[in-house]
Amino acid sequence: MNELRKEWKIIFATLAAVTALSILLAAGFAALYLSGRDTHPTGADPVLPSGETEQTDDAQTEAVTYDTSELADLRRENAYLEQQADALRNELNDLKQAMTEAETERLPEAPIDLDSLFNPGDLTPADPESLNYTFDLNEQLAVIDALEQSMEHSPYIVNPEGELMLLEDVEFDEDTEILYRAQANSPLDENGAALEKEIDYEAMGYKFPVIAVSYRDMERGTAYSYHGDTVFFSASLIKAPYIYTLLHQIAQYNEIKAANPTNDPAKGKTLTQEIWDKYDLGRKITVTESMVEKGSGKIKDMDLSGAGKEFTVLELIEYAIKVSDNTAFRILRNEFGYDYFWTVSRQLGVKSVFTSFNNMTADEACLYLAAIYDFAKEYPTEGGVLINLMKSANHQVLITQAVSNPYAVAHKYGWDADSYHDMALVYGDAPFAVCVMTNFDFSVNDDDLNEYIRSLVSEIEKLHKTFYDAIEDQKKNF
């Protein structure tokens, strides 16, 4: 804004100079006019009044010579002023052009749709100083095509009663009117009707499941997204992002405590006693029967009668991540609130949680995973706590079992009515984040469904490997 004000000041100063020059030009022209009234036009004989003869004495000659010299001087001055005016006009035009270019080159606002951040084939390196790599995208596109065909033609469907079932198991009664629709790219008959048709399940009350997948390389920034901006009920996925923001606060406070263990203002940064005590992983919290939450977890099945049972903050975090304990998660949120979670989410560009705490997209899950990955590198102790808990989290039947090294997976699953998800950091030579979100009903958690989701994750790992191999091959040439 200050630069813009400076540019406008220059423009106003220039306009003032041009105005002054215009006045000088007008004065010059006026002088020319006045002097021209008493001098002879160039190249013409003077016209004498009737009865007068031309004087040829020295005084007259001097007068004519003086007038001609003055006129020449005025012409030269006028030409010089015109040149100066032209130069200032050109400078003014240059300034106007610079202003226009400055407007067009101004950085855009942050994108409001995550789709612009996660696109198939987005090869922008995460580190701007890293080497620029080139890719033959044919190999990647072949994997992507196979992956999307598998998701677009899911073997599952939801019947009108809301039950998830295999498409091949759908049967119709004899008296059921079967509705059809034209197949894509079907040839037409002479009346314009499609010659090839298929059952229109959606018109008959059936619904195909919604599947979203997002992938991102943690070091190089290669990314892929399919329906990555679709908002789902996140179920227990949200526990990992929230615990991350809590541990991030604790890590920063622990840093201050380590640098100034006596909390002495003369020795550096300090904390209020309330913060010092509250954000302590060893602080004990008493859990009573009235604090129990329904759903997943183990605390609800414990004997909490009487005075209840004590848990440290760290133990509640462990329960929330390892066994997705709803009671532990609710207590932590009641204790520490949401302010820092909202702040971090906004900084990351996450939007869905602001419409509902339990809303999330697959792309946003990868944003949180990338933040967790960076957190573990910046604060190995507190970040290591979260990564190790996610590596031992239960329900390891999706991403964990789909990748080549199940021991390298730090994941968090989400499982509820019409919600069946998994998000993970997959470590190794080239760490990456992946999230699969679906509206598969949790009651149909069978081996076939799990195998189908695992097949999608396997294709993601294959896609990741094509990028990684291409990069490694090019590194050898540097």
Q: Is the pLDDT of residue 465 over 80?
A: yes
Q: What is the mean pLDDT of residues 391-415?
A: 93
Indicate if the pLDDT at residue 326 is higher than 90. yes
Query: What's the pLDDT score for residue 24?
Result: 56
Q: What is the pLDDT of residue 85?
A: 73
pLDDT at 256 > cutoff 80: yes
Among 140-154, 209-223, 254-268, where is mean pLDDT lowest? 140-154
Mean pLDDT of 366-382: 96
> How confident is the model over 38-55, as pLDDT tens digits?
444 443 333 433 444 444
Tell me which of 107 and 45 has the higher pLDDT: 45
- Please check the confidence at residue 136 and state whether its pLDDT lies above 60: no
| pTM exceeds 0.85 | no
Q: What is the mean pLDDT of residues 6-28?
A: 56
Select the more confidently predicted residue: 229 or 71: 229
pLDDT band at 103 (very low <50, low <70, confident <90, very high): very low
Task: Determine the pLDDT at residue 126.
Answer: 42
Long-range contacts formed by 373-377: CB under 8 A, 24+ apart: 373/218, 373/425, 373/431, 373/433, 375/244, 375/247, 375/248, 375/251
95 closest CA partner among 204, 6, 184: 6
Confidence band for 155, pLDDT divided at 50, 70 and 90: confident
The closest alpha carbon to 310, from 343, 270, 339, 283, belongs to 283
pLDDT beyond 80 at 154:
yes
Q: What is the pLDDT of residues 423-453, one digit of tens each?
A: 999 998 889 999 999 988 755 557 888 999 9
Rounded mean pLDDT of 13-22? 58
Q: What stretch of H or E contains 15?
A: helix 2-37
Residues 6+ apart with CB under 8 A from 133: 123, 125, 220, 470, 471, 474
pLDDT at 138 over 90: no
Residue 152's pLDDT is what?
A: 82
Complete DSSP assignment for 134-155:
---HHHHHHHHHHHHHHHHT-S
What contacts 193, CB < 8 A, 6 or more positions away?
Answer: 182
Considering the chain, what is the average pLDDT of its residues?
79
Does the pLDDT at position 270 exceed 80? yes
The Cα–Cα gap between 269 and 290 comes to: 39
| Residue 137 pLDDT class (50, 70, 90 cuts) | low
Predicted confidence at residue 239, as pLDDT, reads 97
